[in-house]
Structure 1
Amino acid sequence: MTKADPVATARELVVERFPQARQAWLAGSVVLGLATETSDLDIPVLLDAVEVHRETLRYRGWPVELFVHTEASIHQFLALDLARRRPSLARMISTGVPLVSGTAGDGVRRECAAVLAAGPGFLDAVGLAYARYTLTDQLDDLAGGAAPPVRDAIAFDVWRGSAELLLACAGRWTGTGKWLVREVQALDEDDGSDYANRLHDGLHEALDGRPDALTVVADEILQQAGGRLGDGFYLNAPPLQRAES
């Protein structure tokens, strides 16, 4: 079954569901030229007043994800995304196709574009040490040998931890799933490196019981952060919350 044009469909949905929307944007894979057969329509919506929420539905044959916000909630979510180093909302709004005519929402879009371009900055010393320690521990587990189900889970953690540390060392955004891969690919494109393919190939070899290639690339990334960190690692616990009497 051929789906209707995504932009026209998204615009029709916004008019139907949110006639008072100041602006809305069609974002995600269908806009970036990365759509697959199962891609959905990601639509952040900006209103003056609304119960902020996320909603999943189907419309005109398309799966749809709605992200319904006020300007205040967008600012709040931008801060949350910055803290976790994943620019989900900033990317959707700044790269999305506007669906409502007029200039309302242009300021929010510019702010999101600035956040996306600036990146999350570099990890502080504590965050970097913890990332090094975690990946070091995972590599020790990978080298120790385990039954295939456990080994495969460890190999995936090494792949993910290596990709996240690589991006952190470059002061770049990270992501989950496909977006983690895309962020590493973007770094490769900018730097002329080949980490995305090397991590991919290393993971597949590790899942086949051959962890050497994945270990090599993980150690190369660790060297950018100061190398493996095991003995001597020290981390203070966060302050305990005192119970109210």
Structure 2
Amino acid sequence: MTAINKMKPIKAAQQFIQKWFPDCQAALLAGSVTRGDATETSDLDIIVFQRNILSSYRESLFDFGWPIEVFVHNETSYKQFFETDKKRARPSMPRMVYEGIILKNNGLIEGIKKEAKELLDIGPDEWTKETVDLKRYFITDTLDDFMGCENREEVIFIASSLAELTSEFVLRINRKWIGASKWVYRSLKDFDQEFANRFVDAFDLFYKSGDKSKVVQLVNDVLEPYGGRLFEGFSLGKIRSGGKSNDK
């Protein structure tokens, strides 16, 4: 089946469920096709709730003209993924469930969607001061490497690390969800469109011209309200008298 006559995503997903999971309790179509930002290479993300499986699993295949990622859960296994996503502050599973289009439902989906929305609304746990200081230290160290590096090949990868650390800091310090890959920009945009534009402009200028000034200013501005760069006085793992750790 060619891309020109590829089956509509919802129809393909419905037929996939009928073919492979006819006895499932519920199913959802999630991902880019449901958000309206699918591309020619997008796949179908399908979540299935099947009572008679012992543990959750993920499988990739082609069917009905589409690459398909299927995530199969029983009535409780999804909860572990919700909890794991909350701890890592990347709500992949809750977001898929909440945004998902219902393909089949025996009454199970409403409760799971409610759980997903509540988790998304609450946001990730607040960072402790120790965590904030630790992240400031790592950003400072990476920024120093970025500023001092004169090797073009190496500094490209340092810039990538700096962008990841800085975006994480901005989002987590404000108790917002983070993301990876394309979700870094999407998460920043959801938080603050103006800041997201500034972030992209700064790194875009560096990658195009080698000009580091806007990146350096951006990172300094991000850290400044929380004490600025951190190097002198930072300690990790030092044992004080009495046997107590001085971890930060």
Same fold, TM-score > 0.5, yes or no? yes
Instruction: Provide the residue aligned with 1:222 in structure 2.
Output: 223
Q: Which residue of 1 aligns with 2:165?
A: 161
**Higher-Rg member (1/2):** 2
Mapped partners of 2:234, 2:37: distance in 1: 41
Partner of 1:94: 98
- 1:36 alignment partner in structure 2: 39
Match of 1:240 in 2: none
Deviates more, 1:126-135 or 1:173-182: 126-135
CA distance in 1, matches of 2:122, 2:205: 36
The AA in structure 1 aligned to 2:12 is T
CA contact (8 A) 1:121 1:172 kept: no
| CA distance 1:40–1:225, change in 2 (3 Å) | farther
Counterparts of 1:1-245 in structure 2, within 5 Å, are 1-2=3-4, 3-50=6-53, 51-189=55-193, 194-207=194-207, 208-236=209-237
**Secondary structure at the counterpart of residue 70 of structure 2:** strand
SS in 2 for 1:16: helix
Structure 2 CA distance for partners of 1:59 and 1:210, relative to 1, 3 Å:
same
Contact 2:25 2:105 in 1 (8 A): no
Letter in 1 for 2:86: L
TM-score by length of 1: 0.90
Alignment partner of 2:76: what SS? helix
Gaps of 5+ in 2: 239-248
CA contact (8 A) 1:169 1:225 kept: no
Whole-angstrom CA distance in 1 between matches of 2:48 and 2:237 = 41
Q: Tell me by how many angstroms 1:75 deviates.
A: 0.7
CA distance in 1, matches of 2:203, 2:65: 36
Offset at residue 42 of structure 1 (A)? 1.0
User: What's the counterpart of residue 242 of structure 1?
Assistant: none
Note the residue ranges of structure 1 that are not aligned, 5 or more in a row: 238-245
Per the TM alignment, residue 142 of structure 1 is displaced from its structure 2 partner at its CA by 0.6
Shift of 1:105: 2.2
Which AA in structure 2 matches 1:203? F
Name the SS for the 1:35 alignment partner: coil
Gap change, CA 1:73 and 1:102, over 3 Å in 2 = closer
Percent of aligned pairs sharing the same letter: 35
Residues 36-74 of structure 1, C-alpha deviations (whole Å, 9 max, x = no match):
111111111112132411111111121111111123211
**TM value normalised by structure 2:** 0.89
Distance 1:39 1:225 in 2: 40
